[in-house]
Each structure stands twice: as C-alpha cells, then as structure tokens.
Amino acid sequence: ATSEGEILGYLYSKGIKPDGVLKLSKDVVKMVCEEYDVEVIDADPIRVEEMAKKKEILDDDDLDKLELRPPVLTIMGHVDHGKTSLLDYIRRSKVAASEAGGITQGIGAYRVQVPFDGKPQTCVFLDTPGHEAFGAMRARGARVTDIAIIVVAADDGIQPQTTEAIAHAKAAGVPIIVAINKIDKDGANPDRVMQDLSSIGLMPEEWGGDIPMVKISALKGENVDDLLETVMLVSELQELKANPNRNAKGTVIEAGLDKSRGPVATFIVQNGTLKRGDIVVCGEAFGKVRALFDDKGKRVDEAGPSIPVQVIGLNNVPLAGDEFEVVGSLDIAREQAESRADYMRNERIMEKAGDGMITLSSLA
C-alpha cells in the first residue's frame, strides 16, 4: 500500500503542487498510477459490467481439479409474459398463482431435475421479475447465469423489458435462448415475434441464425420439453465446470432481515463448496455460517457449485450482487468487511466530489 504522503511527495517531485483542494487531470492520474503500478480503469458502466463478468471465478489452482457442475439458467422478459408460469410448469408448482398482484418481486432460485440423455440432470433456474422497476435484479440474474432464457409472449411481442433483458444477457456475454410463449392464445403471432427479434439482431436458428427459439405454452406445457432439451444441449456445449473441493465463493442474489432469524442471504455458490461453520465475508457483511437451507427450505450441511442456498449467521444484511468468499478466520473476515466498507465510503465521497475534484480533507 502506498501512503497519501508518498503520492503527494511524488507529485511535488514532478512539479505539481497540490494545496487544500487537489484537482488531478486524467493524465496526471494515469502518470501516478503508472508510477505505482496500479491499473487504470475508466469507469464507464459497460466496461464495469464487462469487468464484473470477467472477474475470475476460477483460480489457477482449480484448473486441474475441475468437475462438471449444473447449469444456472435465468428466465427473463417483460412483465406478465409468463416467466413464473414456465417455471411452475417445469417444477410442477403453482408459484405464479400465489404472487401478490400476479407480479414477481424478487429473484427465485430453484433446483430442478431435467431428463436428458436418458437420466435426470440437475439444473438451477432463476426466476426474475419483469416489472420495469426491477432492472437491477435482471442485471444481477444475467451476471450469475450460464444461459439467459428470454420469454416473449406471442400475443404481445417485444416490449421494453424484453429489449432490456436481451441487453443484460449480451452485456454478460451469455448465450440466449428465446421461449415464445402463450402460443395457445387467440391473437398469438409467433412468426411476428421472430421477425421482430431478427430485426433487433437475434436471428432464429430456424431461419439460419444462431439463436434457438422454441414456441411454447407455459400454461398448457406445450413444447416445454423441446425448450428444456434445447437448454440442455446449449449447456452441454458450454462444458460448465468448477472445483467443488475448495473454499466456496459466489454471489449474493437476495438478502434481507428476518424478524426471528436476523440477516438472511441467498447465495449462489460459483466455485467450491459452502459448508455449515464456514466463515464468510460478503461485501460489508461477514459471519460464521450458522445454518444453510436449500431451495425447499430444508436444512442442509453444504452446497456445491451452481447451488443456491440460504445462509444464516451474517452480522449484517449484504447487498444483493455482492460477492462472497470463505476465509480462514473471523478476524480476517472482519478486516476484509471493514476495508470494503472504507472503500465504499471513499467511492461515495468520490461520487459527491464529482469529476476529477478530490479534496484531501474529504478523504480524511
């Protein structure tokens, strides 16, 4: 770590005399970063999203210990186009019917056994909300997923959150499969949907393009098997792997405060295996994992790669989207959480300070 004084000294040596208010041009910042061997990142949002995706989940040590892991599949699309109904049909459940106002408000994570190659294979599905207010959840869902399933209602066509969901999937660099839903309805026009999708750059496989599109009815279950088979084929091509025999790391997909249980967070394990008793740090929160619950609310002792799990035992509610990691001791966890909190505080100060204007006193 380099102290502030050292950097000030360096600036003086270059003839730059900062006083109370230090205004650094981009060039000076670059010069300082080069001197101290720090990577310069221009913080434009698309770049940041790319960086988040590229951020290595696997370490070099994992590479010769990789095992196949279940695919994580995120269902996205415009409000009411039938995302939850599709998952209900796949899971033989009735979540959509019990939702307040018929609208999904959080990310649901479910493990499903899908028959493929003559045997049941585990898949993890994330159901995201389609309402325009929940864009951050769609972005998050796209970031942790291996494949995006975009649901478009054939009687309603491409709508604002359809386009938004496609953009998230593209930004995350994941393959897209389109489910054209509600083909049982009067006024359903799946060909029109395919035409409109091709005009925004998603060319159906059927027409020589590279995007698989399956016409389904989530309500009646029509062609859902075809859709699942397509999903399994695309996942197989990706050769999804992780090292289950190491400390877990992954992403928080939801978090909140439960009156009796305290902070509760849903994690997706992306590498390693999370175990009861592990010490985790996630964002500004940390703690010892007191209990783990699977997607059916059943207590479990551990969760391996791709598996969603509810975690109890954190000192605070982390932010959805935070990454989590198992560390060696509570002291390390506390230290990392605190330095993360400091970092976030500085980020907020920088944001307030605006373009290039950093007051030294505001950093104190």
* Chain residues in the site for Mg ion (CB under 5 A): 83-84, 104
| Closest to ligand GTP by CB, 87 or 211 | 87
| Closest to Mg ion by CB, 130 or 190 | 130
Residue 254 partner contact from ligand GTP, Mg ion, none using kind-dependent CB cut-offs of 5 to 8 Å: none
User: Which residue in the list 78, 81, 131, 168 is annotated as catalytic?
Assistant: 131
Minimal distance, residue 133 CB to ligand GTP, in Å: 11
CA dist 266 → 52, 192, 207, 251, 290 (Å): 19, 38, 40, 9, 14
| Closest to ligand GTP by CB, 29 or 219 | 219
Neighbours of 198 (CB within 10 A): 15
| Closest to Mg ion by CB, 125 or 267 | 125
SS3 322: coil
The closest alpha carbon to 144, from 174, 188, 122, 108, belongs to 174
The closest alpha carbon to 163, from 155, 152, 173, 172, belongs to 152
Amino acid at site 236? E
Minimal distance, residue 128 CB to Mg ion, in Å: 8
The closest alpha carbon to 319, from 76, 175, 137, 166, belongs to 137
Question: What is the residue whose two structure tokens read 């900062």?
Answer: 18
Minimal distance, residue 107 CB to Mg ion, in Å: 10
Residue 131 partner contact from Mg ion, ligand GTP, none using kind-dependent CB cut-offs of 5 to 8 Å: ligand GTP
- Whether the CB-CB separation of 252 and 324 falls below 8 Å is answered with yes
The closest alpha carbon to 218, from 70, 77, 109, 106, belongs to 77
CA dist 348 → 28, 52, 309, 352 (Å): 22, 19, 31, 6
User: CB burial class (10 A; 0-12, 13-18, 19+) of residue 364?
Assistant: exposed
Residue 29 partner contact from ligand GTP, Mg ion, none using kind-dependent CB cut-offs of 5 to 8 Å: none
Residue 241 partner contact from Mg ion, ligand GTP, none using kind-dependent CB cut-offs of 5 to 8 Å: none
Site for ligand GTP, rule CB under 6 A:
79-85, 96, 102-104, 129-131, 181-182, 184-185, 217-219
Q: Which residue, judged by CB position, is nearest to ligand GTP in the bound state?
A: 130
| Closest to Mg ion by CB, 84 or 270 | 84
Minimal distance, residue 232 CB to Mg ion, in Å: 23
| Closest to ligand GTP by CB, 79 or 242 | 79
Residue 82 partner contact from ligand GTP, Mg ion, none using kind-dependent CB cut-offs of 5 to 8 Å: ligand GTP
Residue 319 partner contact from ligand GTP, Mg ion, none using kind-dependent CB cut-offs of 5 to 8 Å: none
| Closest to ligand GTP by CB, 196 or 222 | 222
Minimal distance, residue 221 CB to ligand GTP, in Å: 9
Minimal distance, residue 127 CB to Mg ion, in Å: 6
For residue 78, indicate whether it is catalytic. no
Residue 140 partner contact from ligand GTP, Mg ion, none using kind-dependent CB cut-offs of 5 to 8 Å: none
User: CB burial class (10 A; 0-12, 13-18, 19+) of residue 28?
Assistant: middle
**What backbone torsions phi and psi does residue 183 show, to the nearest 5 degrees?**
-70, -10
Using alpha carbons only, give the angle 293, 298, 299 rounded to the nearest 5 degrees. 55
Minimal distance, residue 87 CB to ligand GTP, in Å: 8
CA dist 328 → 6, 61, 263, 321, 334 (Å): 32, 18, 21, 23, 11
Residues with a catalytic annotation lie at 131
